[in-house]
Structure 1
């Protein structure tokens, strides 16, 4: 493993350790989703945003310019996050560092899962992962950044 890969894995793990919610309900999903949408609008991003608890969608927003493909990316990204309880960016980096692709060889069906960044677990203190926040429409790194920065902002301003 290179130093750059190791540093990136450390950074992604730090995101998950840092960004833990004290609680999370439907109102939080609406406020967080709206915050992400406002960040995306301010930055001029054509993205789709989704917050879900397994098959229950708590928030959905599709901004102008986003395509129908974002629906599939969101479904697959959020399925991956909810299954492994980690961000898709962390999983992608971790599997790549081991030179292993779980979507090949029959473990994870590529039609149902992806390792593209942009889905992040909603982890509640003393409860675990209760939902996935997903953005799609940018690069994997930029989708991840959009979600992480908004969650950080939300936890700092709304729940403080």
Structure 2
């Protein structure tokens, strides 16, 4: 089991490595479709959402999800758009500091959620241009699912990037 500090360092590595040279609607479709395929194979009830510059390029709600999952997507996405880092990284940093999101930042948790499952779309040389969000699983699993598909898409070895 990794410590919070090790998880934080590993997610920082994930964000450094899982970057794109280009990202468009076709990329979103490929990644979103792969996430959906894995969810169907594993019988997961999740929402998948991919946005670039606040423009939704992919969205699906699989059987078993509720409108609550869509709200979690919105709140996690808002956090990543605000901080340009993974929602799980923010969650772990706050946990490590023994602080809540509202206490530490003054931001309202009705609109932002520090919970795993939203990963920034990072364009090399540019920075954060969008988000890939999964909601419906425990937050670490939401995060790991996104990372596994990004590593596969970018042809990077998952064992070097995965959280244990």
TM-score (norm 1): 0.91
Q: Residue 25 in 1 paired to residue 21 in 2? A: no
Distance 1:52 1:120 in 2: 11
Deviation at 1:88, TM superposition (A): 0.6
The residue aligned with 1:110 is 109
Deviation at 1:105, TM superposition (A): 6.9
The residue aligned with 1:75 is 74
Q: Which runs of 5+ in 1 are unaligned?
A: none
Deviation at 1:55, TM superposition (A): 3.1
Deviation at 1:129, TM superposition (A): 0.7
The residue aligned with 1:47 is 46
Distance 2:155 2:12 in 1: 19
Question: CA 1:68/1:125 → structure 2, altered by over 3 Å: closer, same or farther?
Answer: same
Q: Residue 61 in 1 paired to residue 36 in 2? A: no
1:1-160 superposed matches below 5 A:
4-104=3-103, 107-156=106-155
Distance 2:49 2:143 in 1: 13
Deviation at 1:152, TM superposition (A): 0.8
CA contact (8 A) 1:103 1:114 kept: no
- Number of matched residues? 155
Deviation at 1:64, TM superposition (A): 1.0
Root mean square deviation of aligned Cα: 1.6
SS in 1 for 2:71: helix
Deviation at 1:54, TM superposition (A): 4.5
Q: Which runs of 5+ in 2 are unaligned?
A: 157-164
SS in 1 for 2:122: strand
Deviation at 1:106, TM superposition (A): 6.8
